[in-house]
Structure 1
Amino acid sequence: MPDPMREVGKRVATARRARRLSQLDLAAQAHISLSMLRKIEQGNRAPSDDTLDAIAAALGLDPSRLVADRTRTDGRVRATLPALSAAIASYDIPGAPPDRPLTALEAAAEEAQGWRLGAQYVRLATAAPGLVADAAAALHSAPPKERARAASVLFSVARSADAVAYKFGARDLSARLIELMRWAAPRTSDPLATATTAYVRTEVFFAARAHEAGLRALHAAIDAAPSPREERTSAARGALHMRAAVVAGRAGDAAAAVEHLGEAQRLTEGLRERVYAGTSFGPDSVRIHRVSVAVSLGGDHIANALEVARQWKPPEVLPAERRSGFYIELARAQLWTGQYDHAFASLKLARRIAPQHTREHPWARESAATLRRLKRADAESLTSFAEWIGAV
């Protein structure tokens, strides 16, 4: 059984060398002593949470990439959820203005969005309660000319916080954060905020397996979305079509799924792949959703997912969360077609790209458990992975 303390040390040293930093450089950037860093890398000292956060920040990583202990990482995220719940309890009640100016909150909201897209959930969860509380206070205390800006910040941080709540199983908290987004959307003066809320709200229908209702909600959102006359509006409508395709696939409606994918593909014309209004959209995102839809539909459609994967791999410019999701979906398709070694390789790749996203994904956990049952002879590495993901 690996020693968690030594595993942390090895991961710190590996990440440091990959960035061509000396121990002295990293110690200085993390504001810790050189002696402490050496002991951590040698596995002779366990870093505190604050020290681990400082090292991870200096390396540009989420702390979850350095921790071998699932319980420790997950516990840190879940420990923040009561504070997040308290932060949104009074979002519509005016209070004292925040200490941070609006410009600083805008920068913090942008950083939180990057953590969300990069699946850096520990960093996001740690910052989210204070950021949500400050953003709500900023909205209530802002002068009239700045209220739309402040509302946009609150909208953005609520969406980022929702990613943590939803992925860590706090579904009631997630629903409340989505309601906060719906409340803030008309106050942003951004016509795309309502479309973004509809995109995120689909999580509620996924959790309830209410796919037909979710599809109706997305159809209404598509009809109400601004006409696709420029990049942002085309991307907003295209993202809704991608989402509708996935919902239709889970509902078993192949015709609707294909129609929505076609519309999403059409809306990528002239657009480069990038993040629009907090959502990645473009030709690569549509390809990933083709795989997701094919896996949801199952049966003969699985061949379509495997064909996409044979011809194309998600580029590194895509957000880590989206890339890891591709390999988690691909692993399911490979598992169902008897390609057990390929399925395990896909799961390991998903973990390398976004470990926390992979570990919290129920399909990744389910695939790992199934592989372990089917391939007991390959015990050591597969069992280690299954223990890491919580499939045993």
Structure 2
Amino acid sequence: MSTTDLAPGANLAVLRKAHGKSQRRLAKDANVSLSLLSKIEVGDRALTPAVAAAVGKALGVSMAEVLGESSVAQRDEVRLSALRSALRDYDLPGRREVNEQRISAALEVAGQHRDAVDVTQLLGMLPGLLRAATTYAHTVNTLDAWMALSETYSTVYWLAARHRWMDMAELAVTRQRWAVEQKPNPLGEALAARDRAGAYLNFGEIETGLVIVDRAVSAAQTSLSGTDRDIAVGILNLRGMTLAGRLEDKREAAREADRHIRSAWNATTAFGAEVDVHGLTIGPQNTFTHELATRVDLGKPRDALRLVDDLDVALEGLPPTRVAPTRINVARAQLDVGDRDGALENLGIAWGVAPQMARIHPMGREVFRVVSSLHRRSNAKLLKLSQLSGIEI
């Protein structure tokens, strides 16, 4: 797996050469223009998720590999190994007694680390939490206990997907599905389907991810009612709009994205504010952030920028895990319309809110690579972000 010491566009150039393909050959195989591919590799244009998926397919690798796997510090390798071990031991509960209060408290702390994008602290606590939640679920064998284990697996998936550790991400969603199937749990199954579709998104297998979403929405509408149904349908459609925005056929992408956007907003109207559900969030603000990102993926940066007059107000109260990616998506849109200074400003805000995202968020790194390449001279802000991200300018 390639490394994100390089931003995605630069990493693509390394991958292409490693596979022995010329730019012309890869552009033809991926059905992208030679000019665009050349500009991406030298840093004049950003590598978008849709193009990353297309070139990945042409190279015979996943989109995640094109974007590049994030490494961890040497001191964290032991923790990562411990997490992989805990994932393997899914059916081997420990002997030490675990109570509900311990699991609830640990899940709350894990949620705080996730919201803050504190991946270092999260990696440190997840192996122990996963083993404790496994023991608790096997011991008491209640729906709530299995749901706590499912939520833990969802957090493991989130961490793995952010680093493009796709073997771990794929295993985590498989374990999550297994956990919610231990007791009849339609809401848990919907949330697990959301993460499973996310794994397909990370691999660049967009059409399959959409099938997972639509099937899960249909099941939720049949098996759930009231607030639980609105939660399930809303969260699934947030994933659906993200997937749809990255379809290769842009007409189909726009049509499918609009369908999921409308459905998400219809479900969201039941909530006057953001609602947290087993580590996930549904509500008007989160729906807005997903729609904005989808408009950018659709190649409609001006539509995305027109969604809000005051971004500070629109994001008020949301955690860094939502604020930072939204700022990055706004920066993407600004870069697309030629506002380099605005893009740099929003990227700086994103990384200021969630500093560890500078090392792991592929699009944030890609936007910085392009902005720094297009600036004719370095400045204090560029130098600061270069140090934060580890990307030379």
TM range (shorter): 0.7 to 0.9
Amino acid of the structure 1 residue aligned with 2:267 = L
Q: State the Cα distance separating 1:188 from its structure 2 match.
A: 4.7
In the TM superposition, 1:109-258 aligns within 5 A as 109-142=107-140, 146-226=141-221, 229-251=225-247, 252=250, 253-258=253-258
User: Number of residues paired by the alignment?
Assistant: 316
Tell me the equivalent position of 1:328: 328
Q: State the Cα distance separating 1:317 from its structure 2 match.
A: 1.9
Amino acid of the structure 2 residue aligned with 1:171 = M
Q: State the Cα distance separating 1:311 from its structure 2 match.
A: 4.3
In the TM superposition, 1:341-380 aligns within 5 A as 341-380=341-380
Give the TM-score, by structure 2 length.
Answer: 0.75
Maintained 8 Å contact 1:80/1:129: yes
Tell me the equivalent position of 1:92: 91
Cα gap change, 1:87 to 1:282, in 2 (>3 Å): same
Structure-2 separation of matches of 1:233 and 1:174: 26
Tell me the equivalent position of 2:265: 265
In the TM superposition, 1:279-298 aligns within 5 A as 279-298=280-299
Structure-2 separation of matches of 1:287 and 1:176: 30
Say which one has the larger Rg.
Answer: 1
Amino acid of the structure 1 residue aligned with 2:285 = D
Structure-2 separation of matches of 1:206 and 1:319: 23
Structure-1 separation of matches of 2:262 and 2:71: 44
Structure-2 separation of matches of 1:82 and 1:341: 41
Which blocks of at least 5 consecutive residues in structure 2 are unaligned? Answer: 1-69
* CA root-mean-square deviation: 2.1
Question: Secondary structure at the residue paired with 2:101?
Answer: helix
Structure-1 separation of matches of 2:110 and 2:173: 17
Q: State the Cα distance separating 1:141 from its structure 2 match.
A: 2.5
Residues 183-232 of structure 1 deviation map (CA, whole Å, 9 limit, x = unaligned): 00122543211111111112321222111111111111111114564233
Which blocks of at least 5 consecutive residues in structure 1 are unaligned? Answer: 1-70
Structure 1 window deviating more from structure 2 (182-191 vs 357-366): it is 182-191
Structure-2 separation of matches of 1:288 and 1:132: 30
Residues 273-297 of structure 1 deviation map (CA, whole Å, 9 limit, x = unaligned): 2212321111111111111111101
Cα gap change, 1:370 to 1:244, in 2 (>3 Å): same
Amino acid of the structure 2 residue aligned with 1:180 = R
Maintained 8 Å contact 1:295/1:333: yes
Structure-2 separation of matches of 1:357 and 1:230: 36
Structure-1 separation of matches of 2:168 and 2:211: 23
Structure-2 separation of matches of 1:384 and 1:73: 21
Maintained 8 Å contact 2:161/2:202: no
Maintained 8 Å contact 1:124/1:161: no
Residues 20-43 of structure 1 deviation map (CA, whole Å, 9 limit, x = unaligned): xxxxxxxxxxxxxxxxxxxxxxxx
Q: State the Cα distance separating 1:111 from its structure 2 match.
A: 2.1
Structure-1 separation of matches of 2:238 and 2:288: 10
Q: State the Cα distance separating 1:114 from its structure 2 match.
A: 2.6
Cα gap change, 1:352 to 1:249, in 2 (>3 Å): same
Tell me: higher relative CO, structure 1 or 2? Use CA pairs within 8 A at least 6 residues apart.
2
Cα gap change, 1:187 to 1:389, in 2 (>3 Å): same
Cα gap change, 1:137 to 1:270, in 2 (>3 Å): closer
Give the TM-score, by structure 1 length.
Answer: 0.76
Maintained 8 Å contact 2:151/2:278: no
Maintained 8 Å contact 1:118/1:354: yes
Maintained 8 Å contact 1:306/1:333: yes
- Overall identity of the aligned pairs, in %: 27
Cα gap change, 1:159 to 1:303, in 2 (>3 Å): same
Q: State the Cα distance separating 1:257 from its structure 2 match.
A: 0.2
Of the candidates 91, 98, 104, which is equivalent to residue 106 of structure 1? 104
In the TM superposition, 1:45-64 aligns within 5 A as none
Maintained 8 Å contact 1:365/1:386: no
Q: State the Cα distance separating 1:74 from its structure 2 match.
A: 4.3
Maintained 8 Å contact 1:331/1:344: yes
Q: State the Cα distance separating 1:159 from its structure 2 match.
A: 1.2
Structure-2 separation of matches of 1:136 and 1:293: 36
Q: State the Cα distance separating 1:352 from its structure 2 match.
A: 1.8
Cα gap change, 1:115 to 1:80, in 2 (>3 Å): same
Maintained 8 Å contact 2:230/2:270: no
Cα gap change, 1:72 to 1:294, in 2 (>3 Å): closer
Maintained 8 Å contact 1:100/1:134: yes
Structure 1 window deviating more from structure 2 (100-109 vs 235-244): it is 100-109
Cα gap change, 1:328 to 1:76, in 2 (>3 Å): farther
